[in-house]
Amino acid sequence: MLLPAPLDIRGDAGVQLAIGGANHIYEPIFRIHASRPGIRGDQKVQSLKPLDLAEINREFRAIAAANKWQAYHTPKNLASAVAVEASELLAEFQWLTAEESVELTDEKRTQVADEIADIVMYLTELSMQLDIDLAAALGAKIQKNKIRFKQP
């Protein structure tokens, strides 16, 4: 499935999402720039490294094949796995104050990163199996949100 030229979508709160990829064939690379929670707009903005979802999905599928898990990676099971991993992510923040949730220990930050990574891997595989163009879906949802919610 072919994607249009790379998208550059600018949303609220200074969030920028750039989507592109090799030959624009479902190999999106994401760059998300957003202020960290608790950081005011006049402070430094954190940048994340590019993310190659196609490579992540290839690695995910290789691990699944090596362990003979492919039969379990159905859309229903992948959606369930996303919910389970989201619950595990939420558990990392249970009983933390707003301030504590921003200032995580190194151990807690590693746990949170692991849960986020699990969610991204499962969502990427789910979108591939259902032939959902993730870049187009993200762009379309942002456009819907622009219509639905106030703009600056």
What is each CA distance from 2 to 38, 59, 128, 129, in whole angstroms? 38, 22, 13, 16
pLDDT of 82:
98
Strands (E), the chain: 7-10, 16-21, 28-34, 46-47, 51-52
Q: Give the model confidence (pLDDT) of 136-149 as tens digits.
A: 999 999 999 999 99
CA angle 116, 125, 49 (to 5 degrees): 45
All domains of the chain, ordered by start, with CATH?
Answer: 1-52+133-152 (no CATH), 73-131 (1.10.287.1080)
pLDDT of 23:
33
pLDDT of 24:
31
pLDDT of 151:
83
- Contact call for residues 42 and 19 (beta carbons, < 8 A): no
pLDDT of 150:
86
Token representation of residue 75: 């859309």
Indicate the pLDDT class of residue 81, thresholds 50, 70 and 90. Answer: very high
Q: Give the model confidence (pLDDT) of 48-68 as tens digits.
A: 788 899 999 999 999 999 999
Q: Give the model confidence (pLDDT) of 9-45 as tens digits.
A: 333 333 333 333 333 333 444 443 344 455 444 444 4
CA–CA separation, 33 and 84 (whole Å): 27
pLDDT of 152:
77
Q: Give the model confidence (pLDDT) of 122-137 as tens digits.
A: 999 999 999 999 999 9
In 3D space, the residue among 126, 48, 119 whose CA is nearest the CA of residue 85 turns out to be 119
Q: Helix, strand or coil for residue 92?
A: coil
Neighbours of 111 (CB within 10 A): 16
Q: Give the model confidence (pLDDT) of 85-124 as tens digits.
A: 999 999 999 999 999 999 999 999 999 999 999 999 999 9
pLDDT of 115:
98
